[in-house]
Amino acid sequence: MTTCNTSPAPAVRFLSFGTATALLCFSLSGSPAIAQSTPDGSTRHGPLTLERTDIALAGADQVMAAAFTEAQRNGWKMSVAVVDSSGELVAFRKADGASAISVQVAIAKARTAALIQQPSKHFEDYINNGRPSFLSTPGVTPLEGGIPLRIADQVIGARLPWP
């Protein structure tokens, strides 16, 4: 058992499961800091929450429509993925005749651009310029093609561009 004292409340006991206990205690012991927050919602250490703008489904649909209009005009058979700023899929579409591998590759390229907040080409360049250790970075792929979507310098998502 681990005891986490959260004055003025009585001590709380948890079964110890390594990191989980520390997180539970941290959450409870963090409560007094909330009570000491300033009128603007911050503490002496900074804000308690962060605002983030993400692409909405309607915005992702517009990106999809533009991509597929361009693809049809040029005769391209492709997959398009749009992810939010965390790299989570918002919208996806695979054209008839597009390669089967294009599904996973499109999502991976868009996710990479969102997570590194740069075109996925930058990540590919890290690898090609002698930084192979970047290959062990989880959740990203070193292939050119993912482009971050920005509003007022904030990444709101990413897309796989049309060729």
pLDDT tens, residue by residue, 141-163: 888 888 888 888 788 877 765 54
In this prediction, residue 40 carries a pLDDT of 64
Q: Which domains does the chain have, with CATH numbers?
A: 2-47 (no CATH), 57-159 (3.30.450.150)
In this prediction, residue 161 carries a pLDDT of 58
Query: What is the pLDDT confidence band of residue 106, given thresholds at 50, 70 and 90?
Result: very high
Taking the C-alpha atoms of residue 41 and residue 48, their distance in angstroms, rounded to an integer, is 7
pLDDT tens, residue by residue, 107-122: 999 998 998 888 889 8
pLDDT tens, residue by residue, 8-43: 443 333 333 333 333 333 333 444 444 455 666 656
Query: What's the chain's length in residues?
Result: 163
Question: What tokens appear for 123 in the block?
Answer: 């990540």
Taking the C-alpha atoms of residue 134 and residue 143, their distance in angstroms, rounded to an integer, is 12
Mean pLDDT (whole number) for 77-104: 93
Q: Which of 130, 131, 111, 127 is nearest to 119 (CA)?
A: 111
Find out whether 54 and 156 touch, Cβ atoms under 8 Å.
yes
Sheet holding 79-84, edge to edge: 89-94, 79-84, 154-159, 147-151
Taking the C-alpha atoms of residue 163 and residue 152, their distance in angstroms, rounded to an integer, is 25
Question: 42 Cβ partners below 8 Å, 6+ apart?
Answer: 48
In this prediction, residue 5 carries a pLDDT of 44
In this prediction, residue 89 carries a pLDDT of 95
Q: Which of 63, 65, 95 is nearest to 79 (CA)?
A: 95
In this prediction, residue 46 carries a pLDDT of 80
In this prediction, residue 35 carries a pLDDT of 45
In this prediction, residue 17 carries a pLDDT of 36
Find out whether 143 and 111 touch, Cβ atoms under 8 Å.
no
pLDDT tens, residue by residue, 30-81: 444 444 556 666 567 788 888 888 999 999 999 989 988 988 899 989 999 9
pLDDT tens, residue by residue, 124-139: 898 899 998 888 888 8
Find out whether 6 and 12 touch, Cβ atoms under 8 Å.
yes
